[in-house]
Amino acid sequence: MSIRSWSLGVVTLALTGAALAQQYGPGWTPNEWKDVSTLKLCTTSPGESEHCFPVWLVVLDGDLYVRLGTRAAERMQKNATGPHLPVEVNGRRFENVSATAAPDYVERVAKAMADKYTSDIFVHFFSHPLTMRLRLEAPPNEVR
């Protein structure tokens, strides 16, 4: 093997490794998603296949928040995996995201949504019974 082909192989391997790390690495970076408009919550109701649906997002205090309308809130209540679900954001899928009610953030999230989304001038008139904080959880066999 020549030095040139060896060097080319090392560069290719490094670039491939960097691309894979970016695609499959930890990557849960809410502060970098402040300008992202939507994410997808993926729920599984009993007897149904997975259903992913888009919702607006805001980032407050380094955490990701969503505000759900009645139908989306009902899907979350029926979610077969409880408060853990896959989330798709910024072209990435995260399998084990904890979605917990954040009643103490309802007002702050509503204001942040109004500031971020022009359409909220109309959307805020609809019912939003559930505001949630989303945090990536380590898989059960992984120690942080």
- CA dihedral (77, 24, 136, 115) in degrees, to 10, reads -80
pLDDT tens string for the chain (144 positions)? 555 544 444 444 344 334 433 333 479 999 999 999 999 999 999 889 999 999 999 999 999 999 999 999 999 999 999 999 999 999 999 999 999 999 999 999 999 999 999 987 887 777 889 999 999 997 655 444
pTM above 0.85, yes or no: no
Identify the structural domains of the chain with CATH numbers, from first to last. Answer: 28-136 (2.30.110.10)
Assign residue 44 a region: left if phi > 0, alpha if psi is -120 to 50, beta otherwise? beta
